[in-house]
Amino acid sequence: MKRILSFFLLSIIFIGGFAQAPADYYTPAAGLSGAALKTALKIIITNGHVDHGYGGLWTGYLTTDRDYFYENDGTILDIYSEKPNGPDPYNYTPITNQCGNYSGEGSCYNREHIIPQSLFNEDSPMVSDIHFIRAVDGKVNGIRSDYPFGVVGSNVSYLSQNQSKLGTSVSPGYSGTVFEPIDAFKGDVARMILYFVTRYEDKLQGFTSGGMLGNTAFPGLQAWALNQYLAWNAMDPVSPEEIARNNASYTYQGNRNPFIDHPEYVAQIWGTPVVDTQAPTAATNIVANNPTSNSIAVSWTAATDNIGVTSYQVYGNGTLRATVSGTTTSTVVSGLSPLTQYTFYVIAKDAAGNSSPQSTTATETTLDGPAGGGSCGTEDFSTMLDGSSLASQYATRTWTNNNITWTATLARTDETINGKAVCTQKGILTSSVISGGVQTLTLTTQRKYSGNNGSLNVLVNDVVVGTIPYSTTVTTTPINVNVSGDVTIKIVNPNNDRVAMDDLSWTCATSLATLETKKDKSEFTIYPNPVRNNELFVKGENLSKVSKADIYDLSGKLIETISNPFRHSNKINLKGLVKGTYILKTDNFSTKFIVD
């Protein structure tokens, strides 16, 4: 558990060393509100502002951005790596670890403009104003790029080690890419932005918006951004760390952030944030179909909301199974158990966290083991060597995990999805020989950087058995393979896109069986197998009570449904199915058969 100094002790340490605001500092703002108050504050915080230049920030950070609040060890207090309630993933020593080049998180710290310097053409004094430029991890700073700050939905493209994230916005009114800091620093970010649009209100007309800045002095921000940052300001009040940083910045630079000294100024200028308390309506028309041994497709009709649905949570048998974006109305729920009945429902959520009522339900049963012979192997890339400074280079990587040796060509190791991942560009991931075959194969993918959406080719024993799609959205995709015996798996990236792969898993292939056992041990036999003359016979107890028989191909596509199939006989007419392997699924059993 981290040690957090009491405010009293902090006062002794910081007030003694750094200047507070003079008693009359804000006198010219007394009695004002709205745009007039904002302009008065602009004049106050412009007076006394000394520009020490971009290089001077390194010196400023020696007093402004030090951790005497959490670890209390004097390292750099980085809002992109700090974990307020647990150990930090890494720490930076001032000066020693400033950068410079970086290869991944934890390499070094640099200067993060909360308002990107590209929006004001790197001009002074903005480019070196310490009040909105923080010392942060270089890698995460680069990932954040010049995207605005906002709330990220389920479409997350990057997750830092302290859970800051980049992804598609669900902030009402903005649907682009945004960066979301952790809750403990959302108020800090909001007040830095409010400082910027106040200190430089007379320059905003000449700045680029970056999706968030306004082009007039008041209110200074686009409507969506203003409402989001007002909400963050209210949610995360001024902290002792901010007060100490404001005092140190005043000593260094000669001006202050008025919204740290007087939090009430925020509401006096911009009012209070709009609070969304209206929940979405329930999703309707939920359907569950196309089962495999470990997955079921679920779809529904969209819910509605006064501002907008941002995500859907899909539950199966009372457990959260998947979360998708608010523009998506279907998903394939994977990781299910064979021959198990699942009842699904959906809950819609909006950006404020309001949850809809539970949708109607839909029930479907997964197929039996021959349609996927149980978990056989996994690869999480945890033993893959980073190669330290070479992690970002595209090279041949070889490692062993779970007694399987893997080789990845044209691969880098510094891009992650769920922990470590391998990222290839026109590269090939290849396994050594694996016994037990492959029935189904599942892979999680995500495109990194710029490029196009596309597909990876999956080869087993050098034969293409399917494709895996990729996009900027983290996507987990199962495919049916059905190759038995000893196999070699290859996943080929045929494109220039840089595609990260993680959580590869597969189920074992099983030999075709004509005898299946249901849960109460009653035996059913199908014959002949292979089937000839389009007639399939079933032998077993209580056949006449079977209410439905479904026939699927190995991709999980439903070919035919037969009601009360054994009411008059134990024979099923297959109505001219083409040659191939199929699955017969009834109330009581599931089995494979071959049409010759």
Residue 316 structure tokens: 């199966």
- The 10s digit of each residue's pLDDT in 265-302 is 999 999 988 778 899 999 999 999 888 778 889 999 99
Question: Per the domain annotation, does 256 fall within a domain?
Answer: no
| Number of Cα atoms under 13 Å in the Cβ half of residue 326 | 26
Q: What CA dihedral angle connects 69, 71, 74 and 79, to 10 degrees?
A: -70
pLDDT at position 550 is: 83
Query: 586 Cβ partners below 8 Å, 6+ apart?
Result: 546, 548, 549, 550, 565
> Rounded to an integer, what distance in angstroms lies between the CA atom of residue 551 and that of residue 3?
62
Query: Looking up tokens 């998947």, which residue turns up?
Result: 322
Is residue 70 within 8 A of residue 4, CB to CB? The reply is yes
> Rounded to an integer, what distance in angstroms lies between the CA atom of residue 544 and that of residue 566?
5
Query: 121 Cβ partners below 8 Å, 6+ apart?
Result: none
375 pLDDT band, cuts 50/70/90, is low
The arithmetic mean of pLDDT across residues 87-102, rounded, is 92
401 pLDDT band, cuts 50/70/90, is confident
Q: What does pLDDT average to over the chain?
A: 87
> Rounded to an integer, what distance in angstroms lies between the CA atom of residue 123 and that of residue 105?
29
Question: Per the domain annotation, does 268 fall within a domain?
Answer: no
The answer to whether residues 201 and 178 belong to one domain is yes
491 pLDDT band, cuts 50/70/90, is very high
The arithmetic mean of pLDDT across residues 440-457, rounded, is 91
Count of H-run helices and E-run strands, the chain: 9, 31
pLDDT at position 212 is: 96
pLDDT at position 510 is: 52
- The 10s digit of each residue's pLDDT in 378-400 is 898 988 876 556 888 889 999 88
How far out from the chain centre does Cα 29 lie? 43
The answer to whether residues 361 and 492 belong to one domain is no
The number of residues in the chain equals: 596
Per 3-state DSSP, what percentage of the chain is helix, strand, and coil (rounded to 5)?
20, 35, 45
Range from 248-262, 355-369, 516-530 that averages highest in pLDDT? 248-262
Nearest Cα neighbor of 344 from 285, 425, 275 is 285
Residue 492's identity, in one-letter code, is: V
pLDDT at position 555 is: 57
The answer to whether residues 311 and 229 belong to one domain is no
Residue 349 structure tokens: 């959520």
Residue 314 pairs in a beta bridge with: 322, 346
Q: Which of 10-24, 173-187, 471-485 has the lowest mean pLDDT?
A: 10-24
> Rounded to an integer, what distance in angstroms lies between the CA atom of residue 332 and that of residue 477?
8
The answer to whether residues 71 and 219 belong to one domain is yes
Is residue 285 within 8 A of residue 271, CB to CB? The reply is no
Q: What are phi and psi of 560, to 5 degrees?
A: -160, 145
Number of domains comprising the chain:
4
The region, left, alpha or beta by phi > 0 then psi within -120 to 50, assigned to residue 376 is alpha
Question: Per the domain annotation, does 580 fall within a domain?
Answer: yes
∠ Cα 234 169 276 (to 5°): 45
Coil vs helix vs strand at 359: coil
DSSP state at residue 15:
I
Range of the domain at 325: 284-366
pTM of the model: 0.57
> Rounded to an integer, what distance in angstroms lies between the CA atom of residue 388 and that of residue 195?
39
C-alpha to C-alpha distances, 152 to 134, 182, 276, nearest whole angstrom: 21, 11, 17
User: Taking the CB of residue 535, how many other CB atoms lie within 10 A of it?
Assistant: 11
Q: Which of 482, 507, 532 is the last residue of a domain?
A: 507
CATH code of the domain containing 351: 2.60.40.10
- The 10s digit of each residue's pLDDT in 507-548 is 877 543 333 334 343 457 787 878 877 888 888 878 888 888
Share of the chain above pLDDT 90, in %: 56
Is residue 146 within 8 A of residue 119, CB to CB? The reply is yes
C-alpha to C-alpha distances, 22 to 25, 30, 48, 533, nearest whole angstrom: 5, 15, 13, 97
Treating both helix axes as pointing N-terminal to C-terminal, what angle do 240-253 and 186-199 enclose, rounded to 10 degrees? Answer: 30
Q: Which of 466, 490, 507 is the last residue of a domain?
A: 507
- The 10s digit of each residue's pLDDT in 135-168 is 999 999 999 999 999 999 888 899 999 999 999 9
Q: Which residue has the higher pLDDT, 333 or 179?
A: 179
> Rounded to an integer, what distance in angstroms lies between the CA atom of residue 414 and that of residue 140?
12
Residue 259 pLDDT > 70, yes or no? yes
The answer to whether residues 200 and 74 belong to one domain is yes
The answer to whether residues 497 and 536 belong to one domain is no
The arithmetic mean of pLDDT across residues 425-450, rounded, is 90
Share of the chain above pLDDT 70, in %: 92
The answer to whether residues 503 and 519 belong to one domain is no
Exposure of 323 by Cβ count < 10 A (0-12 exposed, 13-18 middle, 19+ buried)? middle
Residue 67 pLDDT > 90, yes or no? yes
Residue 369 structure tokens: 């083991």
Residue 56 pLDDT > 50, yes or no? yes
223 pLDDT band, cuts 50/70/90, is very high
14 pLDDT band, cuts 50/70/90, is very low
Across 381-390, b (16+ Cβ under 10 Å) vs e yields beebeeeeee
Nearest Cα neighbor of 76 from 47, 99, 45 is 99
The answer to whether residues 86 and 178 belong to one domain is yes
CATH code of the domain containing 532: 2.60.40.3080
pLDDT at position 11 is: 39
Question: Per the domain annotation, does 261 fall within a domain?
Answer: no
pLDDT at position 513 is: 35
The answer to whether residues 553 and 491 belong to one domain is no
Question: Per the domain annotation, does 347 fall within a domain?
Answer: yes
pLDDT at position 511 is: 40
> Rounded to an integer, what distance in angstroms lies between the CA atom of residue 582 and that of residue 591?
8
pLDDT at position 382 is: 84
pLDDT at position 528 is: 81
Is residue 298 within 8 A of residue 286, CB to CB? The reply is yes
The answer to whether residues 424 and 350 belong to one domain is no
pLDDT at position 372 is: 41
Residue 81 structure tokens: 């790596």
Question: Per the domain annotation, does 36 fall within a domain?
Answer: no
The arithmetic mean of pLDDT across residues 321-337, rounded, is 86
Q: Which of 209, 237, 265 is the last residue of a domain?
A: 237
Query: 11 Cβ partners below 8 Å, 6+ apart?
Result: none
Q: What's the first-to-final CA gap in the chain, in angstroms?
A: 67
Q: What are phi and psi of 580, to 5 degrees?
A: 155, -175
Q: What are phi and psi of 15, to 5 degrees?
A: -65, -35
Nearest Cα neighbor of 333 from 363, 310, 305 is 363
Question: Per the domain annotation, does 567 fall within a domain?
Answer: yes
CATH code of the domain containing 390: 2.60.120.260
pLDDT at position 71 is: 92
246 pLDDT band, cuts 50/70/90, is very high
The arithmetic mean of pLDDT across residues 211-232, rounded, is 95
Residue 10 pLDDT > 50, yes or no? no
The arithmetic mean of pLDDT across residues 187-205, rounded, is 98
pLDDT at position 373 is: 44
Question: Per the domain annotation, does 259 fall within a domain?
Answer: no
368 pLDDT band, cuts 50/70/90, is low
Coil vs helix vs strand at 42: helix
Query: Looking up tokens 């200067």, which residue turns up?
Result: 111
The answer to whether residues 429 and 486 belong to one domain is yes
The answer to whether residues 472 and 521 belong to one domain is no
